[in-house]
Structure formats: structure tokens, C-alpha cells
Amino acid sequence: MDKHTQILERARQLLDGGELSLGALAKAVGLSASHLQRRFTAHFGLSPAQYLAQRKLGTLKSALREGNDVSAALYDAGYGSPSRVYEDSSAKLGMTPARYRTGGSGEQIRWSLVNTALGTALVAATQRGICMVELGDDAALLEQKLQHEFPNAQLARVDAGRDEFLAPRLRAVAEHLAGRRDEVPLDLIGTAFQKRVWDALMKIPAGETRSYGEIAASLGSPRATRAVASACAHNRVAIVVPCHRVIRSDGSPGGYRWGLPLKERLLQRERAA
């Protein structure tokens, strides 16, 4: 391990031990704040502040999974204000800490099946927007996947034609999968980093591609290629969040949750359009 790597590992260990400002951390390891910021981000894929936030969030998640009292879990994780962590964690957890603690209990999700240009799609939505789009030929298997993703939510299958809330969202997804619509209301549930990746994917123009490394670099985390690939693999909203537009740096297609033939078909269709 070279000297610079040792310094960065020391900085990481200090963050693991407690909350430090960038200036205090830089002074402790003998670097300027700007120098530490650049090197830490390049090495770990996260800035010191982002690393600290992820560490605190991980501590909070572990405590909530163990069934600890929410208020105690918040303070033990290092959050100074319950109201602040609810605001922050709603974006990172996809739900409030209390609901995360119970595995999503209390979330109401309505779903239905719709025939699209790409085959059968299961579309599920909360009051905030679409939370899952899954493609497949087996209706029972699609339902099992929904139950696996949201095991403790209140799931209700509805007739799309009789549900004023879900019906327009089903039409929007069908039109999007047919290539006739760009905007679809979403409720993306994931970590802060996953959401940043998904947002970057939705900014890639139709018919174009980016490598995992290019996406990571655009987020200011050039070493986070694997994390980008993982975020793509955890994308629950097929096609709408276009992870089919991400390829390997050598130009090969890489993987795809719904199969490479569909990935190639989607890109060919977009380029033709």
C-alpha cells in the first residue's frame, strides 16, 4: 500500500470513528481540504461527506432491521434531529424510517397487468407514482416478483379500466414501451446513489449509449463503476429507467435484467426512430 493510499485509508477510519468536518479531517491526515476531497472521491467513489452519510445511513438501517426504537436508532446512528433524518432518509430509504423498520408495512401499492409492444408488463404504483415495471410471460411469476420486492406492503390487484388512479399510469407505461411517450410519473425507491444513477440514465438520449464508467464519472465518482452496474441491476422500472442504454467500456452490451435480446431490440428500435 503506497503512502497516498495509507493516508486515504486513515481518513476513512477516522470517519468510521465519528463525524468530522472536511477541514478537521484534512488537518488530521496532513492534506489540504481540496486535495483530500479530490483524492478521497477518486479512490472511494464518494466524497468524505457522502461516505459519512452512507455510513450513518447503514448504521440506521441495521438498527431498524433489528427492531430498535426509531428515535433511539436515529440518535445512535449520529443524527441530531429526528425531523431532519426523516427528510433525508425519505429520499434514501424510499420511505420513512418507521416504515423501513417494518419492511414497508403501511405502503399501499396497486398493480395490474398490461399488454404492451414488448409483451406483458406488470405495473405497480403508490400514490406518488409508478414504483415497479416488470416484464415477462408468466403472470404468476410477475406477481411473485412484486411480492418479493415489497413483502410487507398492502398489495392490491385492480382492473385497470376501473381504477381512475392506475388506469392512466398503465396507459402511460404501455405508450412508453411502444416508444410513443417520454414522461411517466415515478416513485423510485432506492438508496441515494441508486437514485442518482437512475436519474443519469433517464438523461441519456434515446438511441444513444453510455458506459458504466462514463455514468460513474458523470456523477463525480469515476471509481464507482461496479456501484453503477449494481444500481442498474436493481432497477425495478423496466425501460422507463433505461438501463438498456448502458454498455461496457469495450462496446459490448454487458448484462441486462430482462435479457440481452430485449436490450439489443430496444436500442435498435430507438436508433431507427
Catalytic sites, residue numbers: 243
Q: How far apart are CA 34 and CA 25, in angstroms?
A: 11
Name, in order, each residue with C-beta under 8 angstroms of 49's C-beta and a sequence gap of 6 or more.
22
Q: Quick one: 76 exposed, middle or buried, by C-beta within 10 A (0-12, 13-18, 19+)?
A: middle
Q: Give all strands (DSSP E) within the chain, no chain letters.
A: 108-116, 119-126, 129-135, 154-157, 210-211, 246-247
Q: Tell me, what amino acid is at 21?
A: S
Helix, strand, or coil (residue 27): helix
